[in-house]
Amino acid sequence: GLFGGKRALEVVKEYSKDGRPIKGKVAVVTGANNGAGFETAHALAVAGARVILAGRRLDAIKEAIRSIQDKLGNAENAGSVEMIPDVPLDLEDLQNVRNYAKEFQKLGCPLHLLVLNAGVMAQPFRLSPQGHESTWAINHLGHFLLCQLLMDKLRASQPARVICVSSELHRSAPNPDQEFSNWTHPEKYSWMEAYGASKLSNILMAKELARRFHDQKLDIIAVSLHPGVGPTGLAKEGLSGVLIGLYRAIGGMILFSHEQLAATSTFCCVAPPSSLVPGEYYARCAVMKTSHPLAEDAEKAEQLWKKSEELTKEFSAPLN
């Protein structure tokens, strides 16, 4: 049909038949104030988790929390939603990412589910405070650093999961001979390529995380996913109607509601470990083939990891 796909709450229901797999677990969802991030946070709270909503605009996060609390009402077995008071997460600024991780650590709670959902697309060219192309900085590098800084917390909270929200548009990443964050020249900049590169980076990061978790014998699952194509808050800046039309067209005309866009992220959090293949790319709650020649390239994944370490090293010293 035109509107395809399960909704996040249906996924929760399906996996809550034999008990409540994430009841009492602690989740952090980035970009949780609207769209799929909001619906993912809502679904995880319905499933019984303690969900911490992270985002750049504190007023929007507060509003989202109120809204989810209203929806939860006095539901039996529901979890809770909260934020770290007065602490924004601005993924574009690595110093801010470090500050957020520090404040999270002060909460003294475990971390079982890290959902790296925040993202921007169709940005006009600009550089981050640390001088990286902003789409890649926000969608990949900020999340990479956040994950690094919270790694000790994830290890201490095993079994845990890291969920990297990517996109089918990873196919628009530039050719292999171009470096990932190579758009420091505005005249060469294409927002579609920059977005594609950031989303390919999400897939490669999940692959490399999975490899490392496996080698270190850690009970932490990392996966990436394509949420579907639908109305999102990603493209507030500069996406004309024509481009939105095109973007929808590549979705095979299947448009997802926000609740459907959150289904696969929710699935990756609540499904039993036996239903997930570490390092894989998911769509519609199942493993999906990637659509870029580099997406399965283990060597490229390792290169990206090293490069990301290099670019964040000034901010990545252990928090303790």
**Which residues form the catalytic set?**
195
How far is the first Cα of the chain from the last one, in angstroms, to the nearest whole number? 52
Q: What are phi and psi of 65, to 5 degrees?
A: -65, -45
Query: For residues 66 and 103, what is the distance between their CA atoms, to the nearest angstrom?
Result: 22
Contact 297, 304 (CB under 8 A): no
The residue written with tokens 């808050």 in the block is 233
Contact 110, 157 (CB under 8 A): yes
SS3 string, 29-66, reads EECCCCHHHHHHHHHHHHCCCEEEEECCCHHHHHHHHH
Query: For residues 161 and 265, what is the distance between their CA atoms, to the nearest angstrom?
Result: 11
Nearest Cα residue to 319 out of 79, 106, 19 = 106
The residue written with tokens 């990949």 in the block is 140
Residues recorded for the chain: 320
Query: For residues 309 and 316, what is the distance between their CA atoms, to the nearest angstrom?
Result: 8
Q: For 127, which DSSP code? A: B
